[in-house]
Amino acid sequence: MKKNFTMGIMVISIILSFGLHIFGLMQIIPIIITGPVLFLTLFVFAVYLNERHKFKGF
Between 36 and 4, name the one with better pLDDT. Answer: 36
The two most distant CA atoms of the chain are separated, in Å, by 53
| Angle, in degrees to the nearest 10, between helices 2-25 and 31-52 | 160
Alpha helical stretches, state H, 1-58: 2-25, 31-52
**Residue range 38-54, pLDDT digits in tens:** 999 999 999 998 876 67
Average pLDDT over residues 5-34: 95
Note the Cα 48 to chain centre separation in Å.
10
Q: pLDDT band at 56, cuts 50/70/90?
A: confident
pLDDT at 25 over 90: yes
- Listed by start position, the domains of the chain span 3-52
- Note if the pTM is more than 0.75: yes
Average pLDDT, the chain: 91
